[in-house]
Structure formats: structure tokens, C-alpha cells
Amino acid sequence: MALDEVAARGLVLLGCGKMGSALLRGWLDRGLPPGAVHVIEPRPSEWLQGTGVALNVPLPEAPAVALVAVKPQMMGEALPAMTSLGGGRTLVVSIAAGTPLRAFEAAFGAGTPVVRAMPNTPAAVGKGITAIIGNAEASEAHLALAESLLSAVGEVVRLESEGQLDAVTGVSGSGPAYVFHLIEALAAAGEAEGLAPELSLRLARTTVAGAGALAQETGTDPAQLRRDVTSPNGTTQAGLGVLMDEQVGLGQLIRRTVRAAAARSEELGRG
């Protein structure tokens, strides 16, 4: 199954909020015909209405893919609109946090291939990363198709087990919020040292974005990048002395942060 088959058989998108819109924009930019996409969205944006997709109309009988992009708390109300697509002819892909594979298997019935995915918000600018895992019915072709669709908004990695999604949620799913807070904290610290708020925020935002780009584009071990910036007895070493404190430093704080997010993901998965 390839993207040309998606164009021929159709794709159903349940929910077109921020993440659904990012995916749809990526697919259209890659040449997927708007008429091949059927969107179920009770509150469509002006942008969505202008894309030319089939919006809130009867669904095709056996589309290639049905992608679930609604919030978990809306799942019970929204999912019945597409459960008729179960049984095996349509690949179901979910980007809903905290909803396990077994829930979709129960909703769509036996024989339905399901791929569960965890993207993150940088998908909005094509810089996201998504982790995927399939159920027993999901073949290599199904996984490759899901990977192709999700790569429209960034990188895609495959997991070995569904249980790993909780850790993924704690690291990359929730991770952008940690980075945004780092920008806030760095800007506030600059203000405390006498910088104007606008200047301090600009310095903090661009420093974090630039450092991330350097790490991403060079592929260099971040520990080596840190060492490259750190002169003996210099200013960076003085700052890192605080951040790298073994008892109360950033490493310990981030471990507790990721554990808290992963634990909450586990709770949501248990229902």
C-alpha cells in the first residue's frame, strides 16, 4: 500500500485541530489530492473549509486509512462516526494520547490493523517527531504507510512495544512544554540580571532554537557540544556547576519531570 493507493481509495481524518491540520497541510503539500481526504470536524476552521477536502460528508466504504486525531476525552462521542470502517480493509491510525491499541481493537472489531502514534507539537512547523507501534494485525506495509503519512510533519521512529509509548510521552510528547518553560526561565533570569524583558526573551528564544538546530544538524553527541562550549574556569563552567549538581541539578529535575509525565500516561492508558 502506497500514497498513490491513499489517493485512489481515500483517507478519513477524524478531527482537524492543531495536529490534524498540521498533518493535512503536510499531505496536501506533498500532492495528495484534496478530494481524496474526507474530514469529520464539527467546528471547521476557515482554512479547512478552503482546502477543497470532502468535509462532513458520507464516508467512502473502504478508505485506505482512517486517522483519529481527536482528544481522548472526545473519543467516546467522535469514534462511532467511523467504526464501520473496521474489519481489515482500512488501516486505523491514532494520534490520541492515552488511548491504547486494545480500545481501538474493541471499537473497530477483529482483524482491524491499528497503528498508535505519539507526535509532538513542533509538527506544526514540520519539525516534529512521532513514535509508532502497531497491533498484531498491522503488517510491515501498514507500518510503512503510517510512517509515510506521519513523516509529512517530521521524523518518525518505530517502537518495540506499546509500553514504550509512556516514556515517549514523557520525553518527546510533553517535551516541547519543558523547552518552552526553559525559554521562559532563561528569559526571566536575564531580566533579573538587568536585561530588558524583550531583549532577554529574544536572547533566550534564539539561543534555545539555535542550540537545538546545532545538535540536530550536526548529529554530534550533546555532551561533546557542551564540552566544546565550556572553557576551564570560565563563565559556562560556573553556570554548569549549578545545573549539573548531582543532588538538585537539571538532570535530577528532568528525570522527575519525565517520570511524572510517563506515570500520568500510564494512568490514562488504564482508563
pLDDT (mean) for 182-187: 98
In the predicted structure, residue 1 carries a pLDDT above the cut 60: no
pLDDT band, residue 197 (cuts 50/70/90): very high
Residues 143 and 181 in one domain: no
Is 24 among the domain residues? Answer: yes
User: Of the ranges 99-103, 187-191, 254-258, 266-270, which one carries the lowest mean pLDDT score?
Assistant: 266-270
- Give the domain extent around 18: 3-162
Residues 157 and 180 in one domain: no
Whole-angstrom Cα Rg for the chain = 21
Do the annotations mark residue 16 as ligand-binding? yes
Q: Where are the beta strands (DSSP E) in 53-163?
A: 54-55, 65-68, 91-94, 114-118, 128-134, 154-158
Do the annotations mark residue 128 as ligand-binding? no
Residues 6+ positions from 32 with CB-CB distance below 8 Å: 3, 6, 7, 11
Q: Which amino acid is located at 186 in the chain?
A: L
Do the annotations mark residue 69 as ligand-binding? yes
Percentage of residues of the chain with pLDDT beyond 70: 99
C-alpha cell at 235: 563563565
The model's pLDDT over 136-149, given as tens digits with 9 standing for 90+, comes to: 999 999 999 999 99
Query: Is residue 114 within 8 Å of residue 140, measured between CB atoms?
Result: no
Do the annotations mark residue 72 as ligand-binding? yes
Report DSSP letters for 11-23, one per residue.
Answer: EEEE--SHHHHHH
Do the annotations mark residue 11 as ligand-binding? no
Do the annotations mark residue 127 as ligand-binding? no
Q: What is the CATH number of the domain that holds 183?
A: 1.10.3730.10
Domain count, the chain: 2
What is each CA distance from 23 to 100, 234, 254, 270, in whole angstroms? 21, 45, 29, 28
Is 170 among the domain residues? Answer: no
pLDDT (mean) for 52-68: 95
Query: Is residue 113 within 8 Å of residue 138, measured between CB atoms?
Result: yes
- pLDDT reported for residue 98: 82
Please say which residue of 106, 134, 162 terminates a domain. Answer: 162
Residues 194 and 227 in one domain: yes
Beta bridge partner(s), residue 117: 132
Residues 92 and 224 in one domain: no
- pLDDT reported for residue 3: 76
Please say which residue of 162, 196, 221 terminates a domain. Answer: 162
Is 75 among the domain residues? Answer: yes
Do the annotations mark residue 18 as ligand-binding? yes
CA 97 – CA 133 distance, rounded (Å): 13
Residues 135 and 234 in one domain: no
- pLDDT reported for residue 19: 94
Do the annotations mark residue 35 as ligand-binding? no
- Mean pLDDT across the chain: 94
Do the annotations mark residue 28 as ligand-binding? no
Residues 105 and 184 in one domain: no
